[in-house]
Amino acid sequence: MPAKNIKWFKVADSKNELNWQTNNLMATEVGGKKITLAKMGEQVYACAYKCPHASGILADGFIDATGNIVCPLHRYKFNLTNGRNVSGEGYYLKVYAIEEREAGIFVGFEESSWINIFK
């Protein structure tokens, strides 16, 4: 299996400078993509901007008591670590790598290329 190529983009110098909503979610643009950031305790997660079911804006949803992001439209729930739909509908939410480094918060997008498959 080929190694994944991840391109990293700086989001902020620290999670404290981000404009978190009262629901601990926020929408932002990183590397030309709109994404959602979620904060649970000291951990930050990155996922798709919209729900894969009916395109609800995830930053308008909430994080439930078990740490899942919940879509505001139909209450579909997704695990922020692996994107799995935990309310049983069978959808997957795109989640992104995120790292808190000394230089700041970085989100990583997997670069895909058919050429890399054959290397």
pLDDT (tens digit per residue) in 73-94: 999 999 999 999 999 999 999 9
Interval 96-110: pLDDT, tens = 999 999 999 999 999
- Taking the C-alpha atoms of residue 18 and residue 101, their distance in angstroms, rounded to an integer, is 15
Q: Does residue 53 carry a pLDDT above 60?
A: yes
In contact, 114 and 5? CB cutoff 8 Å: no
Write down all domains in the chain, each with its CATH number in brackets. 5-117 (2.102.10.10)
Residue 113: predicted pLDDT: 62
58-65: average pLDDT: 98
**The pTM is what?**
0.90
Query: 108 pairs with which residues across the strands?
Result: 8, 97
Q: Does residue 56 carry a pLDDT above 80?
A: yes
